[in-house]
Copies of this chain bind each other. A is one copy, B any other.
Amino acid sequence: VNQKGKPQHGRPRSALAHNAILRAALHLVSARGFRAITVDHIAAEAGVGKMTLYRRWPNKSAVVMDAFLELVGPQTEFPAASQALRSLRQQLKLQASFFRSKYGRLIRSLLAEAQADEELARAFRDRWIYPRRSGVVRILQMAIDQGHLRHDIDLEIATDMLYGPLYYRLLLGTGAISDDFIDGLYKQFLAGHRPIKLRNPRAA
């Protein structure tokens, strides 16, 4: 996030410091919480001078964001399944369990900071949200192609309707992000809310 421009030479003595910092950040934030840790803590834990940290990131939030995106991001994978809709449902449950894990709290902290730091928000969108959204959109398209979804839906809005409620519950705390919740969400997503109109009312 907002990593400062690389100088032409006299490059970083090692990329080890970089990773040490990210690992320290992730470890400390996971263990003690975002608000409780300071830049000095991270630097000390990483065995690094504060300037080394500030040479690469503008503040604590940016470090932790990078730590999350670089170390945690790649660990989450889109589940594969022969049927697109099944894959989608599994992904929803994966996301839900991820939100319930310690990383849920981390994401909440990062999004909190992002509200006042557009740089941070952009990083989160570009490196976390958009990659996952495009995976979802791809799956939805596949489901359409497989004839399991209507062909005239707006994929972006469909994605918002699936994942919006998850982030809503994560950030608002209005309800558990349970598997039951996912099931209900998925079901109503497919079925919609309009009452079933009888085709031949008089045939009844």
Contact = CB atoms under 8 A, between A and B. Distances in A.
A33 to B, nearest CB: 8
A20 interface: no
Identify whether the interface residues of A are mostly helix, strand, loop, or mixed: helix
Contact of A112 (B115, B163, B192, B196): B115
A195 B112 contact: no
Nearest to A36: B116
A160 interface: yes
A157 B188 contact: yes
Contact of A195 (B113, B147, B185): B147
B195 A121 contact: no
A148 B193 CA distance: 9
A171 B173 contact: no
Interface string A174-187: 11000001001100
B164 A195 contact: no
A195 B151 contact: yes
B167 A189 contact: no
B111 A150 contact: no
A100 interface: no
Interface of A: 33-35, 108-109, 111-113, 115-116, 121, 124-125, 129-130, 133, 147-151, 153-154, 156-158, 160-161, 163-169, 171-175, 181, 184-185, 188-196, 199
